[in-house]
Amino acid sequence: DQQVKQNSPSLSVQEGRISILNCDYTNSMFDYFLWYKKYPAEGPTFLISISSIKDKNEDGRFTVFLNKSAKHLSLHIVPSQPGDSAVYFCAASTLEGGKLIFGQGTELSVKP
C-alpha cells in the first residue's frame, strides 16, 4: 500500500535553518492530511494538519503546504532546533473518523 510516500528516509539540518519534509500521495480522495512526530519507543505525537480545501496552515514554527494538483504536501520547520530531531510521519484520511494511511517516515536530525 503506497498511497502515501515519504521518499527521503532521513534529513540532516543545521540548527536555526529551515527543515523541509516532503510527502506525496496518490489517492485524490484524501481530504485531510496530518503530520506526526515520533520519538523511539513512543507513540506518534500530532503536530499539525491541513484540510484539502486549504493550501497552507501555520502553527508557530511549523507550516504545512498542500499542493493538490501535484498531490504533494510538505512540512516546514523554521527555525529548526535540536529538539526537533525525531521521525516525522505524514498521514492522510478520506473521511471523518476514517483510518489514517501513513508514510514511511523521515528521520530528521538537527545538528547544533
Partner 1 sequence: EPEVTQTPSHQVTQMGQEVILRCVPISNHLYFYWYRQILGQKVEFLVSFYNNEISEKSEIFDDQFSVERPDGSNFTLKIRSTKLEDSAMYFCASSDEKAETQYFGPGTRLLVL
Site residues, partner 1 (CB under 8 A): 32, 34, 36, 41-46, 49, 51, 89, 91, 96-105
Least distance to partner 1 from the beta carbon of 51, Å? 8
Least distance to partner 1 from the beta carbon of 14, Å? 28
Least distance to partner 1 from the beta carbon of 52, Å? 12
Least distance to partner 1 from the beta carbon of 38, Å? 8
Neighbours of 40 (CB within 10 A): 6
Cβ neighbours for 89, distance < 8 A, ≥ 6 positions apart: 6, 35, 36, 37, 38, 44, 102, 103, 105
Q: What are phi and psi of 82, to 5 degrees?
A: -55, -35
Q: Which is nearer to partner 1, 15 or 22 (CB)?
A: 22
The vertex-77 CA angle with 3 and 75, nearest 5°, equals 15
The vertex-71 CA angle with 67 and 60, nearest 5°, equals 45
Q: Which is nearer to partner 1, 11 or 79 (CB)?
A: 11
Q: Which is nearer to partner 1, 18 or 95 (CB)?
A: 95
Q: Which is nearer to partner 1, 13 or 75 (CB)?
A: 75
